[in-house]
Amino acid sequence: MGDAATTQRLTDGNDPAAIGAAFRARGRTEWGRFEVPVVGYLGDEEAMREQVCQDARHLGFPMAVLPTGGHMETFTATEPVMGLVEPFLQN
Structure confidence by residue, pLDDT tens digits, 33-90: 667 778 899 999 998 899 999 999 988 889 999 999 998 899 899 899 899 888 888 8
Domain positions in the chain: 1-35, 38-91
* Farthest CA pair distance, the chain: 42
* The pLDDT value given to residue 32: 66
Query: Are 52 and 40 contacting, i.e. CB atoms less than 8 angstroms apart?
Result: yes
